[in-house]
């Protein structure tokens, strides 16, 4: 029995995806939302890491596959998705984490 069959509502991922890999990997995650009827949260690293140029662009797809919110690129930000009265809404808040 899968976690979706056991009642999970969200699949949350923490990933390190480059610009080149982003189209393929985000398409896979959108497909999970569509095929499994789960909300899918992708948190992607938003800056360089060990020689990798990460794409950032963290996102959330509602059950069914519709993208609700996405970060615009790299940098520090918070991606927020919420469902109120059956309607998904999203917002992206840029953060300043520099001291």
Does the global pTM surpass 0.95? no
Low-confidence ranges of the chain (pLDDT < 50): none
Task: Answer yes or no: are the C-beta atoms of 4 and 37 closer than 8 Å.
Answer: yes
The predicted structure's pLDDT at residue 15:
96
* DSSP-derived 3-state class of residue 14: strand
d(CA 53, CA 46) in angstroms, rounded, equals 9
> Residue 74: its pLDDT value, please?
93
- pLDDT score at 1: 62
Report pLDDT for 34: 96
């Amino acid at each position: 029995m899968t976690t979706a069959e056991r009642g999970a509502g969200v699949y949350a991922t923490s990933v390190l995806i480059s610009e080149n890999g982003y189209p393929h990997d985000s398409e896979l995650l959108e497909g999970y939302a569509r095929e499994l009827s789960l909300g899918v949260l992708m948190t992607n690293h938003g800056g360089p890491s060990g020689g990798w140029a990460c794409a950032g662009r963290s996102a959330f797809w509602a059950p069914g596959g519709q993208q609700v919110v996405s970060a615009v690129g790299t940098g520090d930000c918070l991606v927020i998705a919420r469902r109120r009265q059956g309607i998904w809404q999203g917002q992206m808040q840029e953060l300043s984490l520099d001291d």
